[in-house]
Structure 1
Amino acid sequence: MSHSPQDPHPEPGRPTPEPQRDPVPGPPPRRPAGTIRLGSIAGADVLVTSSWFIVAALVSWIVSPRIEQVQPGIGAWKYVAGFAFAVILYLAILLHEASHALMARRFGARVTSITLHFLGGATAVEGEARTPKQEFWVAVVGPITSLAIGALGVGLWFLTPEGVLRVGVEGLAGANLLIGVLNLLPALPLDGGRVLKAGVWKLTGNPHRGSLVAGWCGRVLAVLMLAYPFLLGAVLDITPGVIDFVLAAVVAIFLLGGANAVVARARMMEKLPALVVRDLARRTCLVDSQMPLNLAVARAQAEQAGGIVTVDEQRRPVGIVSEAALLAVPEHRRAWMSVSEVARSVGPGAVLPVTLVGEDLVRAIGRSPLSEYLVVDATGAVHGVLSTADVDRAFRGTPA
């Protein structure tokens, strides 16, 4: 069970409860292929992957001998009862994920989907937690929900008469207690990993360091998971079967894949503070849009400018010269072309404030991918031109 940020950070000493805010509106996400929509919770689509039916069939097969034991002669109905148990189990997992979604929404985040899949469920939350407190509560509420359902199941077990119904109750109780405990293991991508991240973040003030620590713990847990079948024999004197080895491998691959993604993203995010628009923007030459291209290039070279912006009669910016388009024009033809022929009009998505830094810059570029952007100060005056090639070089740490 996990919740995944797509793709949220000052922490006061003891803040008062934050008021509920509506999630940021946005276009509805495209439903992934191979999923079925069941409805919505907290504004998020509830999806079931096709792999769930494989799990349901597997659960039916595993549970059927136990059902046959308590209800002899039930015949093929034991598989129907097993399937019903799989449905109830995943309803409990849905409650686990819904608790993540509701808590994230409580903190003002937008939840896009809740997906039930082969290994449980995942809640997709846009953005990152803004404080360690938010990270902690959005993560821990899932295992708490599972443990509460498990405890309720234990209580109901004593009140349920022997038979198929008691088998379902004991299975539901055991599964939820197991889900709750396992999800509290301090390793990403499990919920406990996010709790660990929140703790490291609180101590160090660095959310990315928290992700790195919890991600490495996830890698270690993935390796230990591979040893699970052998521990059955060494510790519990139980001979592991093929299913034990397959399950250990599947879970280890899931943990390792999630942990690797977390570590890679944390390392990437640590580089983002170096991306400062004010420093990366090129000095810009302002020219009339009808000026011959060769003269505009000559003026830019004289002013040691790395960008050319066309302006109208009121000296307002109207276009940004595309570096790629300029280089594609042979020098002998530049005298016969105006600057406007190699300039892109300045639309809303092409203008960036000079104050953008790090993650905010990456988000702004992601919303409107272009090769060049006009950078303006608080008064709207032109500060320079930002090239995405320069941003990429700064991120990779390579010289311009």
Structure 2
Amino acid sequence: MKIHSAKTILLSILSLWLFSCQTEEVKEVSLKDALNSQFLIGTALNTNHIFGKDSAGVAIIKKHFNSIVAENCMKSEVIHPKEDEYNFTKADRFIEFGEQNNMFIIGHTLIWHSQAPAWFFVDDEGNDVSRDVLIERMKKHIHTVVGRYKGRVKGWDVVNEAIEDNGEWRKSKFYTIIGEDYIKLAFQFAHEADPDAELYYNDYSMFHKGRQQGVERLIKMLREDSLRIDATGMQAHYGLNYPSLSQMDEAISFFSGLGVKVMITELDLSILPSPYETMGANVADRFAYRESMDPYKNGLTDSISQVFNQRYMDFFQLFLKHHKDISRVTLWGVTDADSWKNDWPIKGRTDYPLLFDRNYQAKPIVKEIIEKVNQKPDGLNN
């Protein structure tokens, strides 16, 4: 009886040891673990994440991402709704979330023509303010916001979407009132407020030759005045058939050739048909709902899921190819349910543009990306 008991105990110990080894072997690797030696992998947080209301989404963020950006709560209309009034409640919680989870925190965005409060550009009578007044408002806004998070926010999208597809300056209120100097002033003020923070220019459709030339002019303009610019953010609101991989390949090489780092920002991949020929990411664009433009409202087919996965893999293979020049890849949202693409540019559609589905499950592409990096092809980690 004693021998039998001893044998039983020994077998139990052996079984536990084998189970422990197997568990260790199949331990799931996260995106951030796999990509750690390549580039930061980030995501945009909404208020449900920031305040812990979406606990399942928060779990994904903590597990898979090491960089975060605020989707909306740091934009000027939210953080600075009136001239003498700031609202830092949401932004403060966003920063705290990042610090508590050792994230690389990105501030988005300081100067943008969209989602800016109306008061910023007008006087008490509703007329455009003078150049000097708008410059002073810019300076106060940037110094206040960047100064509040000095040493905590690691990098700022200083200016967002200032160039058109054809390379011309966007005729925003900042441009028409101040002139192209507003960009230099914005970078100057941001650097004054936090000399150690990285400073970025961020825009969409950066694969367009005209926009590339415009951004090149912008970077040279900043450098002529010895102003800091660390990276260009290439917004990646893409679809199944745009842009081409060769366009992206050339664009990444073009910007890295200008001596700045490249960041793939706002990455999402729409599977829905485009209502117009050339897709950008102008939030002001809107089209009427048509059922023909919403073909997957009841779910995806296997064939379209396979196309989606392969398209994402093609992009990540390209990012890995350029890993020496790319410092960050950031998804614009956590799950498909969070994505702005469900309502843009046609409200009420059902899109599937992110790496995690509406049930908070990782899509097959997540595992495929991890496996691809773990293959460690020659030269990948050099």
Normalising by the smaller structure, the TM-score range is under 0.3
Q: Which has the larger radius of gyration?
A: 1
Q: Which has the higher contact order (CA 8 A, sep 6+)?
A: 2
TM-score w.r.t. the length of structure 2 is 0.25
TM-score between the two structures when normalised by the length of structure 1: 0.25
